[in-house]
Amino acid sequence: MQSEIGIWTVGEEQPIRLDRTLIEKEIDLENWAEAQPSLLSEGLTIVARQLHVEGGFLDLLAINPKGDWVIIELKRGRLYRDAFAQAIDYAACIKSMKSTKLQESIELGLEKNKLTNPDGVLESVEYLLENEEERKTSIIIAGVGVESGMQRVVEFLSDYKIPIRIVSFDTFENSENSQLLVREVFEEEALEIPETKTKSKSKSIEEVGEIAEAEGLGEAYWRLINASKDAGLFCRPYIHTVMVAPPSHKNRCLIYINPRKGKGIMIQHVAETFANFYSDFTVQDIETTLGPSETYAITKSDWESQTKKITDFLEELPTDADRHNKRLEYNTALLKYANSRTKLHEEIAPTPRAYRGVRIDGGCGLNYLVRKHDTSVLLWIDRGKEWADFNDAVYRYLLNKKEQIESDFGGTLEWTSSEKNRSRKISTTLELGGWEDQEKWPLIIKETVEKMIQFESAIRPHLVKAIEEIAQ
């Protein structure tokens, strides 16, 4: 089932193979998975750790964007077939637990294990338990290496609609004494959901829309649905949610749209899935536009701006080769001119991606963004999931210097901060045209690059000081 994994560094001399290291403890995997659930699967919300059930202590319990409970079994070493039996037993325990008992157990675990965002976890758990008509479970088993023959078990169980994902990790040590984590995923493709089949207990897209309309957000809902369909994506209702998926992999969630009574429309995009299926975009590109892959609400007070952000992004998804080639041609011309005026982006190669940028100290990036009919230059502040306070501190430092920065820049800037997202953004947009306005490219490129030069000059000195002071 699994071939040997080897990693080499390639330099000017001969390749050097990296040494394999050991993941010493099962708890290491637990910590990593809790901090970064996308290591196991995209869009997971971890809701419990070492959860006590009738069959023992479940390593991790999560909820995926479809509203399934995900049983996560972790092993410090090689995965053997007995791991299946243990995981299936835990899945049976979760499926048979009364809702009140399951919620109580999760609440007790939150107090003990101090998971991040406990209020958000409880809200997700309460909503799912209140609205589930049939409790659905899936299984993830993770370890270091996989026993030969496990593939047969996965294939067999998939015939009985038991979704199982196997994740195998390896760690390697480089010359700088840091570790590289390598992941290999095994998943039966037969689990794909046919386009023509929808679970009878799920609401239709129209019925889900009625929930949004009752909240006064019908227009926002239908803009999102129609923009998704216009982009060639597949919209599938799932209980009270619409999952937006790539047309070729209808069980992989790009966005989920979940209208809730009294909450607005809950949205989660999965940046990693977008990046997997649309090579024009990196995870950073997507999070720069849409924010981190965290659940947030579209409400009546902000629905137009929040909806436009998503629909504009969907409009930029590459649906044909012409768009791909034209954006590559534009970015090539942009960087050629930019490199004649500044060294800021000289190490970057042109690609068809909407974003072209360079990261600087503190997890901040100076980016060009090109859309169909406008361009932007921006500073993106996001050091990572565990650095929300750092991101906010850097942003607030710069905000306190706003008057000076905008004076040096020679104009007003857009300052974007939201309690819903950990990231922060400072930007300016040029309405001269974009990649589709080819006849205007020389003017657009010249003005965009000059704005970037002004922008960097105005903001970098303050940014460097902010990072230095906050890091102390």
Please report, for the domain that includes residue 433, its CATH number: 3.30.1460
For residue 259, what are the domain limits? 205-315
- Looking at the structure, tell me whether residues 218 and 113 fall in a common domain: no
How high is the pLDDT of residue 283? 80
CA distances from 205 to 33, 208, 219, 226, 239 (A): 33, 5, 14, 11, 10
Arithmetic mean of pLDDT over the chain = 81
Look up residue 20 and give its two tokens.
């394999």
User: Into how many domains does the chain fold?
Assistant: 3
- Looking at the structure, tell me whether residues 91 and 225 fall in a common domain: no
Share of the chain above pLDDT 70, in %: 84
Note whether residue 398 is domain-resident.
Answer: yes
* 88-107: pLDDT as tens digits: 899 899 988 888 888 888 88
DSSP conformational letter for 309: H
> Confidence band (pLDDT; 50, 70, 90) for 161?
low
- Looking at the structure, tell me whether residues 357 and 461 fall in a common domain: yes
- Looking at the structure, tell me whether residues 60 and 170 fall in a common domain: yes
- Looking at the structure, tell me whether residues 21 and 143 fall in a common domain: yes
- Looking at the structure, tell me whether residues 94 and 168 fall in a common domain: yes
Note whether residue 148 is domain-resident.
Answer: yes
How high is the pLDDT of residue 152? 72
Note whether residue 357 is domain-resident.
Answer: yes
Among candidates 424, 421, 419, 420, which has minimal Cα distance to 459? 424
Note whether residue 415 is domain-resident.
Answer: yes
If you average pLDDT over residues 46-59, what whole number do you get?
A: 87
Cβ(244)–Cβ(234) below 8 Å: yes
- The last residue of a domain, from among 293, 315, 337: 315
- Looking at the structure, tell me whether residues 355 and 294 fall in a common domain: no
- Looking at the structure, tell me whether residues 122 and 185 fall in a common domain: yes
Note whether residue 3 is domain-resident.
Answer: no
C-alpha–C-alpha distance, residues 263 and 365, integer Å: 33
- The last residue of a domain, from among 272, 300, 315: 315
Please report, for the domain that includes residue 82, its CATH number: 3.40.1350.10
* Strand order across the 424-430 sheet: 355-360, 364-370, 375-381, 424-430, 414-417
Cβ(220)–Cβ(265) below 8 Å: yes
C-alpha–C-alpha distance, residues 427 and 368, integer Å: 10
Note whether residue 91 is domain-resident.
Answer: yes
- Residue 303's SS3 state is helix
Instruction: Write phi, then psi, for 128 (nearest 5 degrees).
Output: -65, -45
Instruction: Write phi, then psi, for 136 (nearest 5 degrees).
Output: -110, 140
* 302-311: pLDDT as tens digits: 899 889 989 9
- The last residue of a domain, from among 315, 345, 363: 315
- Looking at the structure, tell me whether residues 349 and 444 fall in a common domain: yes
Cβ(107)–Cβ(101) below 8 Å: no
- Looking at the structure, tell me whether residues 40 and 187 fall in a common domain: yes
How high is the pLDDT of residue 201? 53
- Asked if pLDDT for residue 375 goes beyond 70, the answer is yes
User: Which has more pLDDT, 442 or 16?
Assistant: 442
Among candidates 314, 308, 317, which has minimal Cα distance to 353? 317
- Looking at the structure, tell me whether residues 167 and 211 fall in a common domain: no
C-alpha–C-alpha distance, residues 167 and 39, integer Å: 9
If you average pLDDT over residues 359-381, what whole number do you get?
A: 84
User: Which has more pLDDT, 31 or 150?
Assistant: 31
CA distances from 296 to 35, 195, 404 (A): 19, 28, 33
Note whether residue 198 is domain-resident.
Answer: no
Note whether residue 228 is domain-resident.
Answer: yes
- Looking at the structure, tell me whether residues 150 and 135 fall in a common domain: yes
Among candidates 142, 165, 21, which has minimal Cα distance to 76? 142
Query: Which amino acid belongs to residue 135?
Result: R
* 237-268: pLDDT as tens digits: 877 889 898 887 777 788 989 898 888 998 98
Instruction: Count CB neighbours of 419 within 10 A.
Output: 7
How high is the pLDDT of residue 200? 44
- Asked if pLDDT for residue 225 goes beyond 90, the answer is yes
